Amino acid sequence: MATYDFIFNVLGLREWCDKDATVGPMTMAELLNRKPAGDDPKADIGPMWELPFPSLDALNKACPAIARTRDLTKGVEASFLDIKDTLKVVLDPLTQPLSWFIRGALYAFQTTPWFIMIPLLLALTYFASRSLRLVGFVAASILFMAFIDHYDFAMQTLAIIFVCALLCVLLGVPIGIAMSRSDTMQRLTIPVLDMLQTLPPFVYLIPLIFLFSVTEPKLYGIAIILYAIVPVIRLTDLGIRLVDKEVIEAADAFGMTERQKLYGVQIPLALPNIMAGVNQTIMMSLAMVVIASLVSAPGLGVLVLRGIRNLELGVGLIAGLGIVLLAVILDRVTKAALARVNAASAVQRNS
């Protein structure tokens, strides 16, 4: 196979390459491709069409003084481990209330008797949707999960979603409002939101595992919040920016202050978009709760993980069905609440 030896030879860097060679363990591929002693070095020249892309590993084969890709990744890991203790000292006290909230919600949802919890959930469903048909569906779904002994797992999942989605709204709506009022903040925040939205969910867990104990609920709580907070921020910003300028001008004509315009005009008119963001945040929280079972998050995700690890097809499929039912319940309830908000907003605009 062709290499880049000729470049370093022409530039007169061969002595530097051999002198400052990167020392480190060989990969399995390097060990298998190692040349036997006495081989002709010119045998590696090869035809030009076999010349590989000049990546770090390809250049390292020609000049061992150049770092390899694995050296780069080890450098990133070493840099993170160097600041890990400092980050832990700063983040531990700031994030400890999250562990308390999640533990408290788990305790409340699990210790409340089923004959109290189920009516409370049905009452909340009716309050949000005003739909007896939806209440009947929610009742049938919860009773089915209770009948197959998945009630406790479902309540654990709901408790985590309740805390994380609530914190996403409490943190995300003010950030979205601040973005809508400042173009500079919007330009600075959008790249961060893009990164959070495109980063694979498993990647959120990697640095958190090094920072927090696996027994701490804040480990998976932070991952869920970072993953699910993006929609509510984006749609809050969008909703407030889409408020008609004529309405804002009318508010200015009436002498409203900025605070009065925000709470009396902009937020009520942007509420449909904000509620749509809340809906998406809840759905993304549920998706991340299942993935977070890899790092001790309780709930239905634990059963899915058990089905994968032990090859128990029935356990995994039934737990997956429970997750689907929860997703449908949360989606239908939030969409019904959104429809009511849209109807109220339409009446308000017409009046």
pTM (predicted TM-score): 0.83
- Write down the pLDDT at residue 123: 95
- Write down the pLDDT at residue 37: 45
316 pLDDT tier (thresholds 50, 70, 90):
very high
Residue 58: phi and psi, rounded to 5, are: -65, -40
Is the pLDDT at 103 greater than 90, yes or no?
yes
351 pLDDT tier (thresholds 50, 70, 90):
low
Contact call for residues 144 and 325 (beta carbons, < 8 A): yes
Instruction: Name the residue among 282, 287, 290, 292 with its Cα closest to residue 205.
Output: 292
- Write down the pLDDT at residue 42: 47
Average pLDDT, the chain: 86
101 pLDDT tier (thresholds 50, 70, 90):
very high
Which domains are present in the chain?
5-67 (no CATH), 76-350 (1.10.3720.10)
19 pLDDT tier (thresholds 50, 70, 90):
confident
What does the pLDDT look like over 33-79, one tens digit per residue? 555 544 444 444 456 667 778 888 888 888 888 888 888 888 888 99
Alpha-carbon distance of 339 to 227, in angstroms, equals 26
Contact call for residues 293 and 299 (beta carbons, < 8 A): yes
Instruction: Name the residue among 198, 109, 85, 202 with its Cα closest to residue 162.
Output: 109
What does the pLDDT look like over 214-264, one tens digit per residue? 888 999 999 999 999 999 999 999 999 999 889 888 888 888 888 889 888
- Write down the pLDDT at residue 302: 93
- Write down the pLDDT at residue 129: 87
Contact call for residues 179 and 186 (beta carbons, < 8 A): yes
CA distances from 297 to 102, 206, 217, 300 (A): 10, 15, 7, 9
